[in-house]
Structure 1
Amino acid sequence: MKVSVWDTYVQREDGKVMHFDILVPNEVTDEETIFGFGRQYLKTKPFTTKHLTAKECRFCHIEHATVQILTSIENAGFHIIEMENCD
Structure 2
Amino acid sequence: MKVAVWDTYVTRKDGKIMHFDILVDENTVDTEKIFEYGKTYLKSVAQEGQPLTSEECRFCHIDKAPDDVENQILKNGFSIIEMEGCY
Fold match by TM threshold 0.5: yes
Runs of at least 5 residues in structure 1 that lack an aligned partner in the other structure: none
Cross-structure match for 1:4:
4
Following TM superposition, the consecutive aligned residue runs of length 4 or more in structure 1 with deviations greater than 4 angstroms are: none
Cross-structure match for 1:80:
80
**Residue pair 1:11, 1:50 contacting (<8 A) in 2 also:** yes
Cross-structure match for 1:41:
41
SS at match of 2:44: coil
Distance 1:31 1:47, change over 3 A: closer
Return the TM-score normalized by structure 1. Answer: 0.95
Q: Across the two proteins, how many residue pairs are aligned to each other?
A: 87
Return the TM-score normalized by structure 2. Answer: 0.95
Whether 1:65 and 2:71 are equivalent positions in the alignment is no
Aligned-residue RMSD, C-alpha: 1.1
Cross-structure match for 2:51:
51
Give identity over the alignment, percent.
Answer: 54
Whether 1:24 and 2:24 are equivalent positions in the alignment is yes
**Residue pair 1:10, 1:49 contacting (<8 A) in 2 also:** no
| Cα distance between partner residues in 1 of 2:34 and 2:5 | 10
